[in-house]
Chain A
Amino acid sequence: MYSEKVMDHFKNPRNMGEIENASGVGTVGNAKCGDIMRMFLDIDDNGIIQDVKFKTFGCGAAVATSSMATELVKGKTIQEALEVTNKAVMEALDGLPPVKVHCSLLAEEAIHAALWDYAEKNGIKIDGLEKPKSDISEEEEDEEY
Chain B
Amino acid sequence: MNKIIEKEYFSDKVVKLVVENPLIAKSRKPGNFVILRVGEDGERFPLTIAGADPVKGTITLVVQIMGVSSSKLVALEVGDSITDLVGPLGKPTHISKIGTVLAAGGGVGVAPLLPIVEAFKQAGNRVITVIAARNQDLIILEDEMRKWSDEVVVMTDDGSYGRKGLVTLGMEEIIQREKIDECIVIGPAIMMKFASLLTKKYAIPTQASLNSIMVDGTGMCGACRVSVGGKTRFTCVDGPEFDAHQVDFDEMLMRLGGYSQEEKQANERYLLKL
A binds B: no
